[in-house]
A and B are shown apart, each in its own frame.
Chain A
Amino acid sequence: MLEISAELVGAIVAHARADHPDEACGVVAGPAGSDLPNRFIPMVNAARSPTFYEFDSMDLFRLYREMDDRDEEPVVIYHSHTATEAYPSRTDISYASEPNAHYVVISTRETGALDGPYEFRSFRIREGVVAEEEVRVLAR
């Protein structure tokens, strides 16, 4: 199960809308071992594509160095799908490399950059196996 504040969900969805029709991507870091997402870190999609995302390699390096310095880990790794459902694709599964992260997929296919319905789902992806999990949104 992913427990995440409404404020963080809002920030992630706003990022997805802002980047639509390109895929948005980012991380929510939290204290190592805590499984608590608390620091929102939107990333630049170096691919700038409506069907692919990738963190720039130096952005990635600085992100991990910073998390290491702060004793944090990537609790949530999120990205958006802009024309398809909020479910991990074959490439999402192939490249998922953080076994302890919650992989959040958002879809902006219904309303794009505007307010309105969106999909926000969370998954564990380990050794090529996807398991959807409940998202519990905490009021705050």
Chain B
Amino acid sequence: MSIEVRIPTILRTYTKEAKAVEGRGSTLDALIADLETRYPGLRDRLVEESALRRFVNVYLNDEDVRFLDGLSTAVKDGDVVTVLPAVAGGAPSDVRGDFDRALDHASNRAA
């Protein structure tokens, strides 16, 4: 047994179009590192500076891992991890607002 990870459409370029892949690990962080060995580049779409990216949602079974332990969340065989990019956006502000400033300060890597 291992852990099923469900991959959203936009990240399937990393998994050769697979909608779900399998991995191992005792934490979400370890699981993602395991996936990275077979699907290089995937980790960088999920993690930035040791934390899950703000606009990528990761769920352990039916819970958002932000409400668990983030990357440190414990995972085990038989769990299902689902990745869903946030559905978000916004209008440009007349005066440059918080999000425009945040985008300028962060490196511009889309989720």
Give the B-binding residues of A (Cβ under 8 A). 23, 25, 27, 43, 47, 49-55, 57-58, 60-61, 64, 77, 79, 81-84, 88-100, 128
Decide if A54 touches B88 in the complex (CB within 8 Å): yes
User: Which of A61, A82, A83, A95 is within 8 Å of B88, CB to CB?
Assistant: A95
Query: Chain B contacts of A89 at CB under 8 A?
Result: 89-92
Interface size class of B (residues with CB under 8 A): 20 to 34
Decide if A81 touches B8 in the complex (CB within 8 Å): no
Query: Chain B contacts of A51 at CB under 8 A?
Result: 90-93, 97, 99
How many A-B pairs fall under 8 Å by CB?
Answer: 102
Give the A-binding residues of B (Cβ under 8 A). 8-10, 55, 57, 59, 62, 64, 66, 82, 84-94, 97, 99-100, 103, 108, 110-111
Chain B nearest Cβ from A8, distance in angstroms: 18
Decide if A92 touches B8 in the complex (CB within 8 Å): no
Q: How far is the CA of A57 from the CA of B55 in the complex (A)?
A: 10
Q: Apart from A51-B92, A57-B86, A93-B89, what are 17 other A-B pairs with CB-CB below 8 Å? A: A52-B90, A54-B87, A55-B87, A57-B59, A60-B87, A61-B62, A61-B64, A64-B84, A77-B87, A89-B89, A89-B92, A90-B100, A91-B92, A91-B103, A92-B89, A92-B90, A95-B85
